[in-house]
Structure 1
Amino acid sequence: HTSYQVEGWTDFPLAEKLRRSTGIAAVVIENDADTGGLAEARFGAGVGCSPLLYLTIGSGIGGALIVEGQIYRGCGLGAVEIGHMEIPVRSQSGIRILQLEEVASGWGIAREARDEALGLSISSQERRKWVVLERSNNDPQAITAKHVAQAAIEGEERAEAILDRAREGVAFALRQAIAILAPGRIILGGGVSLIGEAHWFEPIRGLVDAGVFAPFRGSYDIVPAALGEQVVVHGALALAHDAVGSSS
């Protein structure tokens, strides 16, 4: 197995080491997005839907494609790394090309707000009165995506603009995914999706429908994840069940 988060884990035989240390024959290693997608396909909002596209939008952004109840793995290195898709993003200086994760993940939304705060003069009325900063005790480094979302829901313009860019980024990525994969259902999970129906799902659906390749319009639906914080646990149990079944 290879990890891009843990230094030195390139072709690291983690599953084999765990088998030897635990004595358990059926050991499965999987990433959290694929595991969550499998769970939603088998037990959650994606039951009976294939192909199913799943996005988890939290501190980062991961994706999974589930086909006939199984994780699609591409050529073997993994697939649907949608958080790394490059997207156009509006800014005061024009269009920037960023990765989706930089704009729409929890840390991406928070970073956009921190940059906004640091761009305001320390002595300015705007900075002193910006509600996002007030809620982070006037510390730009303490701003979170939750602060931004709360302010946007209340109608604060700067926060709304940041959240707009996040929604536009997700919608852009989904339009491309629909054109290539033609999923029957798209499930959005993760902490950022808890922003809710009115301020997350409805705007994203509208943006996707407005720009998607016309023949595919209406062929999919976009729904919230159903399994909450237990989604990866459900997926891990499904993987374990499959592994035990195949080894017996």
Structure 2
Amino acid sequence: MPHDYRTLGAVNPPPVSSDALDNSLVLSEVVVRLHNAKLRRRGGRGITLIEMLIAVSITAAAAGVVATLVSSTSTATSAQADGRRNLARIQAAKAIIGDELHNARAILASGSNYLIWWSGDNPVSAVTPNRAVNLSELRLLEVDTTTNELKVWAITWPDNYSASNIIAADTAYAANSNWYNVCQAAKNNANFTSAMIISNCTGMTVTLDASSFAASRMASCTLTITDQNITRRVLVSGSIRTAQWPE
């Protein structure tokens, strides 16, 4: 019957037989051999905590470098795409303004951030050609300094307007009118609307080829465009093909 040393209060266990000792030594030798075999499979020694920390640090550093490269590539690609879009908008603005001025009849006024011209009598309009500037024939190119957008303002009659409606609403102006004030007042007309040509435009200066508006045939507009923290000066110009000063 096995002894319970806790109940007996014995300090030392009973003597161990030689057979039991031999069996214990054999078991210890087996454990040592298994441990040595495991170490050989690991290359002769185990991985220490320091080595593991170094490996983790190297892996983390490499992952950080890769992430930075991927982020930089993505940012560069996005910037290139934005640059291409901006270039396309600038080219479109040049085409629109150049075409408008090419088909205009007279440059009526210019100043800080604006240019006004007369498109000429419209032969298909309900209003009989009168060699005068009508509201529907006014064009205002202006930088909206609130939204930083370059816009063209013009009349667009509603589809349900009859010829008599258009004739009644299409005001004719005297040739010596203050055209800037006329255009600003026209903005109160719901039919005098704007179309945005280019965004991020913070300013525009206009240079004419003559000292008077009546003699001017060409307008050069220098646009200040700020995009992606880069400020550009873009020159847009146009020449009147057939000049005619209003009466």
Q: Which structure ranks higher in relative contact order (CA pairs < 8 Å, sequence separation ≥ 6)?
A: 1
**What TM-score bracket applies, with the shorter chain setting the length?**
under 0.3
TM-score (norm 1): 0.22
Larger Rg: 2
The structure carrying a bigger strand percent of its residues is 2
TM-score (norm 2): 0.22
